[in-house]
Structure formats: structure tokens, C-alpha cells
Amino acid sequence: MTEQRPPNKPSRSFAKPLRETAGKVIGKTFAQRGFASAELVTRWAEIAGPDVAAHSEPLKIQWTRPLRAPSDPGGAMAEAGREPGTLVLRVEGPAAIEIQHEAGVICERVNRFLGWRAVTRIALRQAPLRRGERKTVRAIDAAATARIAASLPDVADEDLRQALARLGAAVRKC
């Protein structure tokens, strides 16, 4: 027996998961930059390796225009044999020469990740990376940690007591 829905009740709720909405908006932005998917940017450290990713970030993929043969006015042959593109990386100045030497390896890793020969060249743009400000971790006062640990005699586990004491000292510092 199927449940009858009142006529004024919508068949689907109006609330959509954030990943659906954000995915569509972000996907359009990445497509404008030549990326087939956002994963090349979001998983850059995994693709390029930690040493390369620490000093670079992908900006876009520049695709070459497909050439049309005179006998192919629709361009069907050109689409089937699309030329690989150029991966444009933002690189911190001092690391540019090292990354330039590893260009072949980076292209190979990107192509392996994407599953096809997408890029054959790398172009470097020297500029500071656009990463959030890294906060320096402030040292926690050892005396305050010891005082707080002494005030927690009910906690039997020593590791837990020390962790709570460090947390308490960090919270008081703020």
C-alpha cells in the first residue's frame, strides 16, 4: 500500500545538500580554468608529491585549439585526436628551477592520475603561493601545565591528564 501525499506537499524538499550546490558552482570555475575536475587542484600534493606540492599549485590547463583538416569541415577528426595541453603552475621563485627540471615527471604523474595523456608541457608562473596564513604555534607554559595537571587528581590515565593539562593551559593563554 502506497502512502498518499497531500496535494499541497511538494514531492521533494527544497533543501539540497551543500555538496550538490557547491559542486556545481566550483565545477564551473574549474572548467573555465581548463580543469576537467577539481581533483587536480584539491589532490595536488597527492598527485605531484609532497616536495613539488610544497612549492607549487596548479593554476590552469591551457588547451591547444584543435586543427581542422580541410576535408573535415565539422571538426570531428580534430576532436577525436585532441592535442595535449600545457599545465600552468604557480611556483615560488626559488623552487622554480627545481620544478622545471622535474617537468617530465610531473606531466607523467598528472597524466597517470587523469587516466589519459592530458598534458605534455608545464609552464611556470613565479609568484607567491596563495595559501592561507600559517599560524605559528605558541609554546605552552610548562609551569601552567604542571599546575593544571596537579589539579586533576581524579584522572587516572597519565597521558590523558597531561593532554587535559596542555589543553587547559592553551585555553587560558587565549
Mean pLDDT for the stretch of residues 145-149: 90
Which pLDDT tens digit goes with each residue over 95-136? Answer: 899 999 999 999 999 999 988 888 999 999 998 887 765 555
pLDDT for 129: 86
18-70+80-126 CATH choice from 3.40.1130, 3.40.50, 3.30.300, 3.30.460: 3.30.300
Residue 28 or residue 162, greater confidence: 162
pLDDT for 107: 95
Is residue 76 predicted with pLDDT exceeding 50?
no
Residue 135 or residue 152, greater confidence: 152
**Range 48-51 contact pairs with CB under 8 angstroms and sequence separation of 24 or more:** 48/106, 48/109, 48/110, 49/109
pLDDT for 84: 87
Predicted TM-score (pTM) of this structure: 0.52
CA-to-CA separations, 113 to 33, 37, 39, 110, 117, in angstroms, rounded = 18, 11, 9, 5, 10
Residue 104 or residue 77, greater confidence: 104
pLDDT for 87: 93
pLDDT for 171: 81
Band of pLDDT at residue 93, cut at 50, 70 and 90: confident
Which pLDDT tens digit goes with each residue over 24-68? Answer: 665 666 555 556 567 888 889 999 999 999 999 999 888 877 655
pLDDT for 38: 72
Q: Which residues pair with 121 in a beta bridge?
A: 86
Where do runs of H (alpha helix) occur along 33-95? 39-42, 44-48, 50-53, 76-80
First-residue to last-residue Cα distance in the chain: 60
What residue spans define the domains of the chain? Answer: 18-70+80-126, 142-173
pLDDT for 135: 52
